[in-house]
A and B are shown apart, each in its own frame.
Chain A
């Protein structure tokens, strides 16, 4: 579903991502791990078509910049950027109208209910706390029923209820065949659902492996074995 081939992203002389290739199949969840500055957010922005790059990225076989690919892709950014003068409900309506969705209201209501935003539908974007903004951002991203979703640090700022709902939403989407990439520093949060992982350091994928390739399945141990010299031991 998500296919990245030989992606390189340069900012002048700085190489933020170098020759990255990865594939996320339908119904799979790929966890993107790595220390700060490893190039995770840059990779995500390239996949979402927000940055130029060398290489090829396709979503369900479509070039990621095409309208077909955009229609299939959802994105939850690291920093929720809501419009200060739109209400929560209007954010959903904006997405529904922009994507020309039919019968979007029942799903919007369900999402708002799940994330405890139902009573805040008429609150303006600027009146919401960061956690609430993040919830709206998640609702907007999944309202289009995307077949691929990219989450960049989705749990930051969320309350325990929202974290539980997001985890269950991710599990449901997986079951429905949605391909997902989740970038996070909270390794525990994806322990239950992950299928593949890509551990990035210095703009490259230092290690990519499937869950069944990992003995004991300890993602945290694998992470430290790659990112810290002498830490974590062999996996």
Chain B
């Protein structure tokens, strides 16, 4: 039997066997299945009752902007250490074995598709948001499939970039320019059409028809292919997806032909990923999040005394990690997408829609705050001081960041869209209080689970808790807001929602004020 086939078969078999020993994992899988079925029902009901508030073509820039984040990450990875499609065990056991390296590459790609499948899983839960664009369950599945393909293509692209630019600074510089330049024709075309029509809908339709989209590799093709298929334009959809598949095959062919000994190219990435995984397993999340990027140490030193030192330490870390402080790559991409969205679609959308999208993103991004990461290190437990004060001061940096995000993501787009100033300010308050609420729910989940369960189950509990805590305020805001109607209704709705979020946040923080005293220091459990 082929060693590769044996590895895949045995790994899958052992995963199922593991479920018998770990009922928690089984429950997690069952919850995921239930959520998908619920999502299916919601999207079927949604598809029957609504044609969507916005044309499906508006999904194109949203999807493109979303995939742009992954594109930027892939380019960065490719320029640094490449992307990993193998595990360290493959390096130690498979690479040194007398097996065909091409078969090993195929094995790596099959595993990559499996990883991409899980990475795109969250899209299946987007049915209600996608229903706004008239996207039913089939559409969600198309987006899911396109996302998997896109992630696989980006990983291969990353491998190719590493393989062709490693140790060649001139090529790296050229690639950095090229990576941005490829989108210029598409954006210029759209801008010209927009100026000539005066509306984004016609400009987007023209863009979809135009061959200029070919110049936006991978993410442009994925976005255009998925939207065409959702619109029912099979020929155009298959053309874009076909281009994506062909590009993957082409890149692989190039890697194999030009560097038959590609093991060296994937080794650094595999080792980097392995080190990160080991750091996570050891609870050293700080090290796991560190990048290999060169950091220039200019200003040194901290401020504050007692538990207040946490906020100054976090600010120092943030500004050292990124010379623009809070303006990280993630923040810049989101801001550019929102500015684009709010400028070109200013007549069609309002700041409340932007708020909805941001709130959804924030559910997942809140966990990246330095305060929550701090709970995985022993210092926050061992430093003398009140546990509640430690909680507050260790999250102060996150709240500052959130306040800045609210100005950047809602305040400025609000001005671009010429939205009502009070609505913009209220949306900013809703966003900040929502972040506070999410943070408090994280600590509450930690308190009640005593941080002694697997991360997957903890995430599911957290998501369910967010839904349960948000639902009463959201429902009240929608009912009262809609019955009041118009601008007054919007303002009342936003006021109710923000008041509810604040009340939930205060209650959850009060309940989890001693979490640093009463909980085990969490470790990453799989």
The answer, yes or no, to whether B524 is at the interface (CB within 8 Å) is no
A51–B517 CA distance with the chains assembled, in angstroms: 9
Question: Is the beta-carbon distance between B305 and A97 smaller than 8 angstroms?
Answer: yes
Question: Is the beta-carbon distance between B306 and A100 smaller than 8 angstroms?
Answer: yes
The answer, yes or no, to whether A167 is at the interface (CB within 8 Å) is no
Given A70-B382, A87-B297, 18 more A-B residue pairs with CB atoms under 8 Å apart are A50-B521, A52-B450, A52-B518, A67-B384, A67-B385, A75-B378, A77-B378, A81-B287, A83-B317, A84-B286, A85-B316, A86-B317, A90-B300, A94-B313, A98-B306, A99-B384, A100-B305, A122-B300
A68–B317 CA distance with the chains assembled, in angstroms: 29
Complex interface: chain B residues within 8 A of A77 (CB): 378
A77–B379 CA distance with the chains assembled, in angstroms: 11
Q: 15 interchain pairs (CB within 8 A)? A: A52-B450, A65-B517, A68-B384, A70-B383, A75-B382, A77-B378, A79-B283, A81-B284, A83-B317, A86-B317, A93-B302, A98-B306, A100-B305, A126-B290, A126-B295
A70–B517 CA distance with the chains assembled, in angstroms: 12
* Least CB distance, A183 to chain B, in whole angstroms: 15
Interface residues of B in 279-329 (CB under 8 A from A): 282-284, 286-287, 289-290, 295, 297, 300-307, 309-310, 313, 316-317, 320-321
- Count: A-B pairs, CB below 8 Å: 105
- The contact string, 1 if C-beta is below 8 Å from chain B, for chain A 1-18, is 000000000011000000
* Least CB distance, B109 to chain A, in whole angstroms: 31
* Least CB distance, A151 to chain B, in whole angstroms: 13
Q: Which residue on A lies nearest to B298, using beta carbons?
A: A122
A157–B518 CA distance with the chains assembled, in angstroms: 33
* Least CB distance, A65 to chain B, in whole angstroms: 6
The answer, yes or no, to whether B520 is at the interface (CB within 8 Å) is yes
A49–B380 CA distance with the chains assembled, in angstroms: 11
Question: Is the beta-carbon distance between A84 and B287 smaller than 8 angstroms?
Answer: yes
Residues of chain A whose beta carbon lies under 8 Å from any beta carbon of chain B: 11-12, 45, 48-52, 65, 67-68, 70-71, 73, 75, 77, 79, 81-87, 89-90, 93-95, 97-100, 122, 124-126
Complex interface: chain A residues within 8 A of B363 (CB): none
Q: Which residue on A lies nearest to B307, using beta carbons?
A: A98
A98–B377 CA distance with the chains assembled, in angstroms: 15
A-B residue pairs, 4 tightest by C-beta: A84-B290, A67-B384, A85-B317, A50-B521
The answer, yes or no, to whether B381 is at the interface (CB within 8 Å) is yes
Question: Is the beta-carbon distance between A79 and B282 smaller than 8 angstroms?
Answer: yes
Q: Looking at the complex, which one of B302, B379, B519, B520 makes contact with A90 (CB distance below 8 Å)?
A: B302
Total chain B interface residues with beta-carbon distance under 8 A: 40
Complex interface: chain B residues within 8 A of A75 (CB): 378, 382
The answer, yes or no, to whether B452 is at the interface (CB within 8 Å) is yes
A73–B379 CA distance with the chains assembled, in angstroms: 12
Complex interface: chain A residues within 8 A of B450 (CB): 52
Question: Is the beta-carbon distance between A81 and B302 smaller than 8 angstroms?
Answer: no
Residues of chain B whose beta carbon lies under 8 Å from any beta carbon of chain A: 282-284, 286-287, 289-290, 295, 297, 300-307, 309-310, 313, 316-317, 320-321, 377-379, 381-386, 450, 452, 517-521
Question: Is the beta-carbon distance between B381 and A48 smaller than 8 angstroms?
Answer: yes
Question: Is the beta-carbon distance between B286 and A81 smaller than 8 angstroms?
Answer: yes
Question: Is the beta-carbon distance between B382 and A49 smaller than 8 angstroms?
Answer: yes
Question: Is the beta-carbon distance between B383 and A85 smaller than 8 angstroms?
Answer: no
* Least CB distance, A156 to chain B, in whole angstroms: 13
* Least CB distance, A177 to chain B, in whole angstroms: 21
Q: Which residue on A lies nearest to B287, using beta carbons?
A: A84
Q: Looking at the complex, which one of B383, B386, B518 makes contact with A99 (CB distance below 8 Å)?
A: B383
Complex interface: chain B residues within 8 A of A12 (CB): 452
A230–B455 CA distance with the chains assembled, in angstroms: 43
Complex interface: chain B residues within 8 A of A94 (CB): 302, 309, 313, 379
Complex interface: chain B residues within 8 A of A79 (CB): 282-284
Complex interface: chain A residues within 8 A of B310 (CB): 98
Question: Is the beta-carbon distance between A71 and B384 smaller than 8 angstroms?
Answer: yes
Question: Is the beta-carbon distance between A45 and B521 smaller than 8 angstroms?
Answer: yes
Q: Looking at the complex, which one of A68, A85, A122 makes contact with B321 (CB distance below 8 Å)?
A: A85
Question: Is the beta-carbon distance between B287 and A50 smaller than 8 angstroms?
Answer: no
Question: Is the beta-carbon distance between B286 and A83 smaller than 8 angstroms?
Answer: yes
Q: Looking at the complex, which one of A50, A81, A86, A99 makes contact with B316 (CB distance below 8 Å)?
A: A86
Question: Is the beta-carbon distance between B289 and A84 smaller than 8 angstroms?
Answer: yes
Complex interface: chain A residues within 8 A of B302 (CB): 90, 93-94, 97
A97–B309 CA distance with the chains assembled, in angstroms: 7
Q: Looking at the complex, which one of A68, A81, A90, A93 makes contact with B378 (CB distance below 8 Å)?
A: A81
Question: Is the beta-carbon distance between B286 and A93 smaller than 8 angstroms?
Answer: no
Q: Which residue on B lies nearest to A12, using beta carbons?
A: B452
Question: Is the beta-carbon distance between B284 and A85 smaller than 8 angstroms?
Answer: no
